[in-house]
Amino acid sequence: MEQQDHSAMEHQQVFKKLSVNGEPHSVGFSVHHSLLEVLREQMQLTGTKHGCELGECGTCTVLIDGQPVLSCLELAVECEGREITTVEGMMIGNDLHPLQEAFADLGAAQCGYCTPGILMTAKALLEENPAPTRDEVVSALAGNLCRCTGYHKILEGIDWAAAKMRGDEDFRPPREAIYGDPLPGEEPSDA
Amino acid sequence: MRPFKVIRPTNEKEAMEQVSKGNASYLAAGTDLLNRIKEHVASPDSVVDLKSLPGMNTIEVTDQGIWIGALVRLSAVSSHTDVLSRFPAVCETIIHAATPQIRNMATVGGNLCQKPRCWYLRHEGYSCVKNGGTGCWARDGENEFHGIFDNQICSATQPSNLAPVLVAHEAVIEIASKDGVRELTADQFFIGPSSDPLREVSLEEGEFVRRVMLPESTRAGSWAYEEAREKQSFDWAQASVTLLLDRGGRKGDHRVVLGAVSPAPLRRSDIEKKIDGSDDEIAEASGIAGAGATPLSENGYKIPMLKGLIGKAIRSARSRKEG
């Protein structure tokens, strides 16, 4: 195959206003850079992860105008005028988002690399559907791979966060799902 | 990723002029093109962004049918009320495509024009008949996911999930060309390697898809879409069957189109004729699934797979009708 000298090619630079997590940012970048590259390298928002870079793993998922998309396959130059939400924008004031809280309480992350993408996908799901069935959660997460957890705690975390967001105070995740200390008001398990 | 320039034309004429200058490619969502650039199998110096053109991102509902702009996202099609109620098989094939994130990004036009998923074609180290070289590595190599019909020249399969259902509905593909707008039916649009091994669709230099029309006259009395794949969460189909029964209220006007087994969607009128409402229609129709197949060393399983999918599709379409 013919080898191309990439360094010799002039990079077309642009300067764009991107709206990320509700704040406008003026950012300069090469026009062929993905949103993922610009978020991480120009804006230092490193919560969004580089995974396969080919649209197969979902770990780079961010929300654009509320919908989950893959930042590795979206050119940043196409994002002007659209609202971008990353995992850094999930907290509500100084409080964790209920999904973040539930994931932490249930240990729904092991290595944690897929977690930002899964949180974003789940956030979009719960905003559209506050009481999803297990099948609906599984379908929504079809594009987010996790190689550690086996998904059970992730699914239970989303169920619990959904209940919290609906104000369903009676909902309790399965006892065996709870990691470490018991939940407030619960007895420690024998294990 | 290899650097490229982004050109944003303001009208169709400008888009066609820009793409014919040097080494340029059209860009829709980019879910396939950027992927191929990253894998070093596409290396455009510039991309011409069709999203800057007006009017290609709308769904227009008329008495004659539904026009879907080439830049409408797949998820916008599958959730559109009129497409769902009038062409439900189209929505069903879309929700089997890729992942939710990709469906939020990918466009209808891009889906139809994506390059095949053959792992030799998508590897920079291999030259074959499909990228300007000779021969087909898969024929004597790893061919588990390759085609079992019309696979002599190239054994890659048409990767678009939408392609078979568009053939089944005799969709009209409206193409912007240098001489104005031209139209092809879906079965004319998708081509096999004997027509031209370098292309999977009949777009000439500079042309692009403007919109796709689903004709009202082909609305199905009942329908089914059945697909088999290795991984349930998301995967490419190993084989699929699109079945439309009694189109346009015409009894016996059925369509059976097979996907992921040939270079272009494969209409099977021989199978359609066996679907006659008789007690043994499933055995008769699925029994001839492999007629004309030339399986390779690792993909013979696709014949029994198709038999199962055809049976499942007929049962599903019949029960949907009665239900």
DSSP-based three-state secondary structure for B292: coil
What is the rounded CA–CA span in Å between residue A27 and residue A43? 8
Q: How far is CA A103 from CA A110, A111, B51, B162, in A?
A: 10, 13, 38, 37
Q: Select from B3, B105, B127 the Cβ nearest to the Cβ of A74.
A: B105
Q: Select from B1, B35, B100 the Cβ nearest to the Cβ of A32.
A: B1
Rounded to a whole number of angstroms, the distance from the CA of A180 to the nearest CA of chain B is: 30
Please tell me if residue A75 touches chain B, with a CB cutoff of 8 Å: yes
Q: Select from A9, A30, A143 the Cβ nearest to the Cβ of B100.
A: A143
Size of interface A-B (CB pairs under 8 A): 85
Please tell me if residue B132 touches chain A, with a CB cutoff of 8 Å: no
Rounded to a whole number of angstroms, the distance from the CA of B193 to the nearest CA of chain A is: 23
**Can you give the pLDDT at residue B44?**
97
Token pair for residue A87? 């995992």
CB pair distance less than 8 Å for B43 and A4:
yes
Please tell me if residue A70 touches chain B, with a CB cutoff of 8 Å: yes
Percent of residues, chain B, with pLDDT higher than 90: 98
Please tell me if residue A183 touches chain B, with a CB cutoff of 8 Å: no
What is the residue whose two structure tokens read 């180290």?
B125
**Can you give the pLDDT at residue A174?**
79
Helix intervals (H) in chain A: 35-37, 98-106, 115-128, 134-140, 152-166
Which of A15, A75, A145 is the mutation pick for testing B, counting most B CBs within 10 A?
Answer: A75
Pick the CATH number of B219-322 from 3.40.50.300, 3.30.70.2740, 3.30.390.50, 1.10.3430.10: 3.30.390.50
Please tell me if residue A4 touches chain B, with a CB cutoff of 8 Å: yes
Please tell me if residue A1 touches chain B, with a CB cutoff of 8 Å: yes
Tell me: pLDDT of A8 over 60.
no
Please tell me if residue B3 touches chain A, with a CB cutoff of 8 Å: yes
Please tell me if residue A34 touches chain B, with a CB cutoff of 8 Å: yes
A148, amino acid identity: C
Q: Select from B35, B45, B99 the Cβ nearest to the Cβ of A142.
A: B99
What is the rounded CA–CA span in Å between residue B122 and residue A57? 18
| B1-51: CATH class | alpha beta
What is the residue whose two structure tokens read 């969709």?
B171
Which of B99, B102, B121, B234 is the mutation pick for testing A, counting most A CBs within 10 A?
Answer: B99
Percent of residues, chain B, with pLDDT higher than 70: 99
Per-residue model confidence as pLDDT tens digits over B176-215: 999 999 999 999 999 999 999 999 999 999 999 999 999 9
What is the average per-residue pLDDT within B163-171?
98
Please give the domain boundaries of chain A with CATH numbers for all domains: 6-89 (3.10.20.30), 98-177 (1.10.150.120)
- Please provide the average confidence, as pLDDT, over all residues in chain B: 97
Residues on chain A touching B104 (C-beta within 8 angstroms) = 67-69
Which of A15, A34, A73, A129 is the mutation pick for testing B, counting most B CBs within 10 A?
Answer: A73
Per-residue model confidence as pLDDT tens digits over B109-148: 999 999 999 999 999 999 999 999 999 999 999 999 999 9
Helix intervals (H) in chain B: 12-19, 33-38, 74-78, 81-86, 88-95, 100-105, 108-113, 162-168, 186-189, 269-274, 281-287, 302-322
**Can you give the pLDDT at residue A57?**
97
- B69 confidence band (pLDDT: 50, 70, 90): very high
- B13 confidence band (pLDDT: 50, 70, 90): very high
Q: What is the DSSP string of A136-179?
A: HHHHHTTT---SSS-SHHHHHHHHHHHHHHHT-TT----GGG--
> For A169, phi and psi rounded to 5 degrees?
-75, -15
Residues on chain B touching A70 (C-beta within 8 angstroms) = 31, 101-102, 105
| Cβ atoms within 10 Å of B81's Cβ, excluding its own | 9
Tell me: pLDDT of A108 over 80.
yes
- Domain parsing of chain B, residue ranges: 1-51, 219-322
CB pair distance less than 8 Å for B101 and A68:
yes
Q: Counting beta carbons within 10 angstroms of the beta carbon of residue A83, is it exposed (0 to 12), middle (13 to 18) or buried (19 or more)?
A: middle
Rounded to a whole number of angstroms, the distance from the CA of B38 to the nearest CA of chain A is: 8
Q: What is the ipTM of this complex?
A: 0.95
**Can you give the pLDDT at residue A5?**
46
Residue of A nearest to B232 (CA): A142
Residues on chain B touching A139 (C-beta within 8 angstroms) = 100
More confident residue, A87 or A178: A87
Task: Write out residues 92-111 of B within 8 Å (CB-CB) of A.
Answer: 98-102, 104-105
DSSP-based three-state secondary structure for B272: helix
- The answer to which of A168-177, B74-83, B176-185 has the lowest mean pLDDT is A168-177
What is the rounded CA–CA span in Å between residue B248 and residue B254? 10
Per-residue HEC secondary structure of B293-320 comes to: CCCCCCCCCHHHHHHHHHHHHHHHHHHH
Please tell me if residue A3 touches chain B, with a CB cutoff of 8 Å: no
Element (H, E) at B214: strand B208-215
Element (H, E) at A70: strand A67-70
Nearest of B115, B110, B97 to residue B28 by alpha carbon:
B110
Per-residue model confidence as pLDDT tens digits over B225-263: 999 999 989 999 999 999 999 999 999 999 999 999 999
Q: Does residue A67 contact residue A123 with C-beta atoms inside 8 Å?
A: no
Q: What is the DSSP string of B144-202?
A: TTS-SSS-SS-------SHHHHHHHTTPEEEEEETTEEEEEEHHHHB--TTT-TT-SB-
Which of B37, B57, B101, B123 is the mutation pick for testing A, counting most A CBs within 10 A?
Answer: B101
Q: Select from B3, B31, B234 the Cβ nearest to the Cβ of A142.
A: B234
Residues on chain B touching A32 (C-beta within 8 angstroms) = 1-6
CB pair distance less than 8 Å for B105 and A30:
no
**Can you give the pLDDT at residue A169?**
87
What is the rounded CA–CA span in Å between residue B40 and residue B230? 27
Nearest of B186, B193, B228 to residue B209 by alpha carbon:
B186
Which of A60, A62, A69 is the mutation pick for testing B, counting most B CBs within 10 A?
Answer: A69
Rounded to a whole number of angstroms, the distance from the CA of A140 to the nearest CA of chain B is: 7
- A182 confidence band (pLDDT: 50, 70, 90): low
Partner residues linked to A23 by β-bridges: A20
